[in-house]
Structure 1
């Protein structure tokens, strides 16, 4: 499921914080807190478990980044939050939670967001004989290696990017019993027009990759990654992609 929250910023301010993922997470937490008397909030956010969704924020054309601030082209700019999941139960909970927030405003540092529409997006089909997708990252691709209580973030500029990408995706798929071990360990991403970027997240600077790449895997793994996002820290706003073209087979 792909859900688009169409929102508008406040009338009086033309800025958002560059660490906007924090605001998105705050919005998701509020939605799950208020829906059904908060019965699902603990399921989503209690404990350090992997959440079954990813998201990306779409900003209007003409924005300008300067340090800790995003300058919008005008007040009441339209912002789109796309949330995607491969889990039907998560899809139902999030869809209902955000529909209940339609028309409400949510504070953001120096501004606010008002939810105007909640739209179910059509998904692009992946034929059963397709093993290759040309994709565009909607949210930065985060590849993390955790060693000795320290995190290393790998981008396309690193020599071991291909190896680390395959490793991280195999770990992401490890509990998905429907996939074979070969399927889990053979996913590859070939950068086409990708670049390194550094994003702000809770005061931390994280090196990631953005742009267009060629993703290869079995058709059903491709479909799963398309719905769930791929890589590390997906539920914090990383790894969601869109499909540009699908191979016609082979």
Structure 2
């Protein structure tokens, strides 16, 4: 299920590291709604089955601040599991109208509605990123290295994807999985005071439609539940 959450900011400026505050908002809303459900969604699973993106009406970006044309933002949330989606919806409805802190700013949820969720109908599809894709490689000593959407990066992305899906899909289905860039660009984001490269744009994926639908609904790449890797089907 997909939702659009329209929020009104107190001021027309936010930190470039805004994703961590949206993440905190989701966790806090679920905890208020039901602490056991929050733990089941956030604390227990190895891979979480949701992702989100944020639309900002950007006027300009200066250093670590994003200045906005108006004080409304939209959060788009995609949850693969139907029951988890309903829990998210109930938690978000419970947070409606409450003042949520966002560094030196704050916001309130003013509207929540369900959005159209498409379906991959073939064993291939072209996707567009709604939030950037993170390709993260954990190296010796648990240090992270972030890759671009190039030949080496795509190998790491495929390896990570197959590892994350090995308990959900059979080996025979996973063997046919492929990723091909079409038109992508590199940018750099801030997340919890770290900066790393990410990828935006269009790309092609081939694989069983069950796998493609799962990635479309739950997010693609690393840190998908933290506001990265949300996809839209364009072909």
TM superposition score normalised by structure 2:
0.93
User: 1:192 and 2:192 equivalent?
Assistant: no
1:4 aligns with 2:11: no
2:17 maps to 19
CA distance 1:189–1:65, change in 2 (3 Å): farther
Q: State the SS of the aligned residue for 1:211.
A: strand
Q: Higher helix proportion, which one?
A: 2
Shift of residue 192 of structure 1?
A: 1.4
Q: Runs of at least 4 residues of structure 1 off by over 6 A? A: none
1:65 aligns with 61
Contact 1:169 1:187 (C-alpha < 8 Å) held by counterparts: no
Shift in Å, 1:47? 5.9
* Structure 2 match to 1:96: 90
What stretches of structure 1 of length at least 5 have no aligned partner? 246-250
SS of match in other structure, 2:196: strand
Matches within 5 A, 1:64-83: 64-74=60-70, 77-83=71-77
Tell whether 2:164 aligns with 1:172.
yes
CA distance in 2, matches of 1:24, 1:175: 29
**Structure 2 residues without counterparts, runs of 5 or longer:** none
Asked if the contact 2:135/2:146 (under 8 Å) is kept, the reply is: yes
The equivalent of 1:135 in structure 2 is: 127
Corresponding residue to 2:26 among 28, 53, 56 = 28
| Number of equivalent positions | 234
How far is the alpha carbon of 1:48 from its aligned partner? 7.7
- Report the TM-score when normalising by structure 1: 0.88
Distance 1:233 1:213 in 2: 19
